[in-house]
Structure 1
């Protein structure tokens, strides 16, 4: 059941006694001043539906702690340590001077309840509303744009594993599909979630298996009757069609119509890497470093550290590129024009820059390094460009 905030403190009220030590423009002071308005008790009632059991830690304290944790990028254990030892954290979360906070596992439980609730964005929405109402950002025209990779907890799956898992999911989710699969799918015993027992060091055996699995997927999709499906069934069918196609191409001597397939060379663009989490993607922050998961995008006012907008997107695809997402982040900013925008090279695409300049923003993006078409050749800076006359003069 939900714990109630009674106002009883372990020791002196840190915000009352140490207020002058905490910068007035900081997030700590903001939370200390507006915590009760930000996070009223009723805001979290749906997350604690049971009226039985031991009362939880008041969610207002946990919400404030999670807000600061996200801002500072701390682990759960580090967050609790700050709550125990840092006066600013105690003031922001409403703890007394002698309060030893709580076990770090409560933060994980709270985030889990929040993510599974009907409104997992409620904390950010509440902070934005109070920021707008109090005018904390009034006159602050700088916004820093950035992104980071969020690692996914699922393992990357190869083509064989994905197709088998997708066929099993269709058989499980689509009414009658289990019987159809038993009749038309012959490449593998799909009651077994493991990989087929073949000589995996035999290239020909692997090729024949992939060909047979893709054929099974096509047969299953073709044999199922067309009708309205539940969302789960429709997702299962769509995923099977996707994974059966994304990693294969017609065999070397095939015209694409004889039903013979092989693994394609290279990696498909925007490839689904796991049937467990179909939205996870390969993410490249650099050419040499690859991670699997999502990208978190943010816009922040650097003086106060307040996040003005956040978004979590798949890690690949042009519509999820930093420059494209930046337009969405800034579209909801209370100050629609006249901002100083700071970011790295990723935000400086021509299309995004033109759109931001049209909104009368000032851009301070790191320029992309100049390159030459051939070794020892000229770069753009070597050419004389006269935009008025519409002429470009080669330095040669």
Structure 2
């Protein structure tokens, strides 16, 4: 595999494959992205740490200058970290997985292998969980910063907090009623700000800011019965956003007593070779992201009937019915 990547790296990972990940005018990354892509593949195959793959695998697959020793440093580990972020944030995050899949299909290594194992794993998110007050203030600030005309509307109609102040509002934080009143006031500010925005085309950043504020304004508070919408009561949404820094992150309950914050990785694996045939990264909660709901997506590319192995999470009635229609044997 080391020799294969050294010889065929340019074909498997051509430079134009990563052009959209480097939008700068000079498009001259410090390390060619095809080298970093090869290092990512080798790290996955060998299961080694980032520093190890940069020191060993990176040198073998780089081939930049003759006489390079086996233990010479090819590139700093931070480059690999930054490189992983680029495809993850792009419009085509699975490009490396799909390129490797083309090699697997060309070799025919999975031909005749009709078993697939399904599974999921929680991926912890490093972002700090934010309370309702912090999220609402951060989302309002984001709208003020990115949406044209929001500054004037906030100055006139948003009175719950000074949104130019980087600190939290000054209240008695140990007083539950004071906190509830603050949340209600912040939600009112959010609604006023959203309602006052002029009808106008928005770029992606501004549209995301407006959408996030609208979501946050309704996920922890709902109007009281018979109200005019400006007073509310606490209501915790089952699929609530936990941070404005990473709006896709969620509370994940693998068991009743163990909770994590992050995402769920869903995979389909051919058990004999250990090759992944499909992957999906989803928020950690919500019916649309449950194992049984993702099972059909993981098996959508199968062209022949397969036998599937999985735990009880995949045994729902609708999931089994879909499998039978596809010719899949659970």
User: Which residue in 2 is equivalent to 1:187?
Assistant: 160
User: Which residue in 2 is equivalent to 1:174?
Assistant: 147
Q: In the aligned structure 2, how far is the partner of 1:353 from the partner of 1:207?
A: 45
User: Which residue in 2 is equivalent to 1:132?
Assistant: 105
Query: Taking structure 1 as reference, are residues 35 and 362 closer, same or farther at Cα in structure 2, changes over 3 Å only?
Result: farther
Q: CA deviation at 1:56?
A: 4.9
Q: In the aligned structure 2, how far is the partner of 1:222 from the partner of 1:200?
A: 29
User: Which residue in 1 is equivalent to 2:272?
Assistant: 303
Q: CA deviation at 1:219?
A: 2.0
Q: CA deviation at 1:45?
A: 5.7
**8 A contact 1:210–1:262 mirrored in 2:** no
Q: In the aligned structure 1, how far is the partner of 2:96 from the partner of 2:86?
A: 13
Q: In the aligned structure 2, how far is the partner of 1:268 from the partner of 1:321?
A: 17
**8 A contact 2:42–2:57 mirrored in 1:** no
Q: In the aligned structure 2, how far is the partner of 1:34 from the partner of 1:110?
A: 20
Query: Taking structure 1 as reference, are residues 352 and 71 closer, same or farther at Cα in structure 2, changes over 3 Å only?
Result: farther
Unaligned runs of 5+ residues in structure 1 are 1-26, 364-396
* Deviation by residue 1:58-102 (Cα, 9 ceiling, x = unmatched): 544432331232356543134357749xxxx96xx5889951263
Greater relative CO (CA pairs within 8 A, separation 6+): 2
User: Which residue in 2 is equivalent to 1:257?
Assistant: 228
User: Which residue in 1 is equivalent to 2:220?
Assistant: 247
Q: Are 2:179 and 1:206 aligned?
A: yes
User: Which residue in 1 is equivalent to 2:284?
Assistant: 315
Q: CA deviation at 1:181?
A: 0.8
Q: CA deviation at 1:163?
A: 1.3
Q: In the aligned structure 2, how far is the partner of 1:127 from the partner of 1:170?
A: 40
**8 A contact 1:164–1:193 mirrored in 2:** no
What is the SS of the residue equivalent to 2:327? Answer: coil
Query: Taking structure 1 as reference, are residues 237 and 57 closer, same or farther at Cα in structure 2, changes over 3 Å only?
Result: closer
Larger mean Cα displacement after TM superposition, 64-73 or 43-52? 43-52
**8 A contact 2:117–2:309 mirrored in 1:** yes
Q: CA deviation at 1:212?
A: 1.5
Q: In the aligned structure 2, how far is the partner of 1:205 from the partner of 1:165?
A: 20
User: Which residue in 2 is equivalent to 1:24?
Assistant: none
Query: Taking structure 1 as reference, are residues 56 and 232 closer, same or farther at Cα in structure 2, changes over 3 Å only?
Result: closer
Q: In the aligned structure 2, how far is the partner of 1:275 from the partner of 1:109?
A: 21
What is the SS of the residue equivalent to 1:331? Answer: coil
* Deviation by residue 1:14-53 (Cα, 9 ceiling, x = unmatched): xxxxxxxxxxxxx779768865642345544665677798
Q: CA deviation at 1:282?
A: 1.3
Q: In the aligned structure 1, how far is the partner of 2:17 from the partner of 2:233?
A: 54
Q: In the aligned structure 1, how far is the partner of 2:307 from the partner of 2:282?
A: 24
Q: Are 2:51 and 1:77 aligned?
A: yes
1:81-160 alignment runs, 5 A limit: 83=57, 93=61, 99-100=70-71, 102=74, 103-115=76-88, 119-160=92-133
**8 A contact 1:165–1:193 mirrored in 2:** no
Match for 1:290 among 259, 267, 272?
Answer: 259
What is the SS of the residue equivalent to 1:362? Answer: coil
* Deviation by residue 1:196-220 (Cα, 9 ceiling, x = unmatched): 0111111221122122112222222
Pick the structure with greater CA Rg.
1
Q: Are 2:42 and 1:68 aligned?
A: yes
Query: Taking structure 1 as reference, are residues 219 and 68 closer, same or farther at Cα in structure 2, changes over 3 Å only?
Result: same
